[in-house]
Structures are given as C-alpha cells and as structure tokens.
Amino acid sequence: MDNKYALDFEQPLRGLIDQLDHLHQLSNENNIDLSKEIRAIEKKISSTKKSIYTNLSPWQRVQLARHPQRPYALDYIERVFTGFQELHGDRAFRDDRAIVGGTAYLNGEAVMVIAQHKGRTTREKLAHNFGSPYPEGYRKALRLMKMADKFGLPIITLVDTQGAYPGVASEERHVSEAIAVNLREMATFGCPIVSAVIGEGGSGGALGIAVANKILILENAYYSVISPEGCAAILWKDRAKAPEAAEALKFGANDIHKLGVVDGVIPEPMGGAHNDPDTAAKNLKDAIVAELDQLKKLSPEELIEQRYQRFRNIGVVEEELADGKIVPINEAAS
C-alpha cells in the first residue's frame, strides 16, 4: 500500500507499515537483528488487513472504487487483451475520449472492446473528461458495436463512470437520446455481449454500454441509479450524508448480485485492485472468458432472447390478492 494514497479507514494499517519501514531502516543502518520485532509487526499487518478489508462498509467500497491508483480501462485492456487497435469518432461530430474502443484479441479470438476511461494524470483526465461521456461517445460506441455485430465479433464493455456528462453541451447534442438509442440497439445484436463494471457504474451513463447478456462486477466496484452524493443531496439536501446514502442504495457488488442485477462478482486482491493490478486483470480475464465460452454456444436468436429475458426478470413486482396475501406478480397471474 502506498501511504501517500491511504484512505481514512486504512490509517491503522498505514501506522503499522510506517513502523515496519522504521524497523527495517534501524536494522540496516545499525546492523541490529530485529527479525523478531519485524515478524511481529508483519503478523499484525496481516491480521489488520484481514480485519479492515473483510468488513468494509458500502461507503468504504465506494472509496476503493474511486481510488486514484485503481486500474482504469486502458490498464485492463493492456493486460487482458492483445493487439488492441483503437478506433475513433462517431462519424457525426467528434471523437469523445471518455469512451475508448476498438478491435483486439482475447486468447487469440477477435473481439470488440468498448470502455469508459477516466485518465490518471490531470492532462489525461481532461482529455478523457474524467470518464463522463458526451453523446458522441455513446454514438461512437454504437458505431463500433454495429461493426462487431456485422462481423460476428463478441462485444466486451468495461464500465467505469460516475455518469454521462450533464453539461449544456451534452444536452444540446441530445445525450438522453444517444443513451436511449444504445439501449434499444444493444438489445437487438445477435453477437455475445459481456459487460464488466470495473469501478463506478453510474446510472444511464453506465447502462449506455451495458445492455449485455452477462454483466460482471469487480468486488469493490458499485453499480447504481445514482451516486451516493447525488442521492444524499436529493433525500437529505446534504452531500455529507453520502455514507448513509451508500448504505441505503444497496449498490455494492454482493448486494446487486443477490438481486440479480449482475451475474457474477469478480474477486479483487486484498485491499483492492490497485494493490495488485496484474492479479485483478487475470481475475477479470478469466471471468470474461468463462462467460463468453458459454454464450458462444447460443445462436444469434437465442442470444437476443436471453438478453431480453435477463433484463425483463430483474426485480420482483408484488401484488396484493383478495385474501390480503402479498405474492410476486407472476405467481398472482398463475
């Protein structure tokens, strides 16, 4: 763990790591055998890590999803795929770098990769608009998905955005319409589609590239109709209530997996993907490959129907019967 980027709840761990570094320095500079003390601190670090990271609150997972050292889309693309050839532009207005996409190989098979990328340095963040796409970003994504469907390439999307860009320019160019068209068109593609939420999955901005046969999510990512700050501002008129909003929204990986919103949770290294990007990328790759292997067995018609049923069956609508009993609406109909 880089102490420079330690989060608030990681402070106990940071103190122990500082102690360990100090003991190593004393041992090296003064030629003193401190191996017993070092082993004791290492053991305490291990137990503290387990205590912290196995009992994370929803808000703490949001903090990990936003960690400045967390791997972003291009980091995963570099590790998971080979021969990535980025394609640019929506052929109508401009190239939106908040969405990157192009052809690549996954275990030797040609695929189309589309992802939301935030950028790490200030220059990169500005170039990629902090991962918040304009409408032309969604139109570029749709252009690439149509190309994939035409040539029978599986589509893999990596979701990582707080939401579509909400500014005036975005509204002028009809961002809601662009997202809506993507939802409609993705539902009709006869090629396999796998989406993975790698960080933040915010509202329609995320869903605009995530109408998939299978949706996966990394352990410390979240997928929600609204950010916790936005929810807090609406419900409590106070963005400081974001931790309470995160708890109420139930948007963590395990919660939404139980609700059927996602199909699988991908484990991360202890402390988050940023602590071991290579292992995180391997876990992501293995999960995507496993899902694609199953989807490739389906015909185009079966893929479309499976995708339709997947979204049709999310959530349970209840109905009160004449005797006062509450049952799911599908049971009431029968």
pLDDT in tens, 9-28: 887 777 778 778 888 887 78
Query: What class, spelled out in words, does domain 63-312 have in CATH?
Result: alpha beta
- pLDDT in the model for residue 333: 46
Q: What is the pLDDT of residues 115-158, one digit of tens each?
A: 999 999 999 999 999 999 999 999 999 999 999 999 999 999 99
- CA distance to 47, 89, 184, 216, per residue, from 294 (Å): 39, 32, 24, 14
Residue spans in the chain of domains classed CATH 3.90.226.10: 63-312
Q: What is the pLDDT of residues 244-287, one digit of tens each?
A: 999 999 998 999 999 899 999 999 998 899 989 999 999 999 99
Contact indicator for 104, 82 with CB cutoff of 8 Å: yes
Contact indicator for 33, 27 with CB cutoff of 8 Å: yes
- pLDDT higher at 7 or 76: 76
Least Cα distance to 74 among 131, 123, 126, 122 occurs for: 131
Environment class of residue 208 by beta-carbon count within 10 Å: exposed (0-12), middle (13-18) or buried (19+)?
buried
Side chain identity at residue 39, one-letter code: R
- pLDDT in the model for residue 1: 55
Q: Which residues contact 72 (CB under 8 A, 6 or more apart)?
A: 117, 118, 119, 120, 131, 160, 198, 199
Write b or e for each residue in 64-75: b if 16 or more Cβ atoms lie within 10 A of its Cβ, otherwise e: bbebeebbbbbb
Q: What CA dihedral angle connects 304, 307, 309 and 314, to 10 degrees?
A: -160
- pLDDT in the model for residue 203: 87
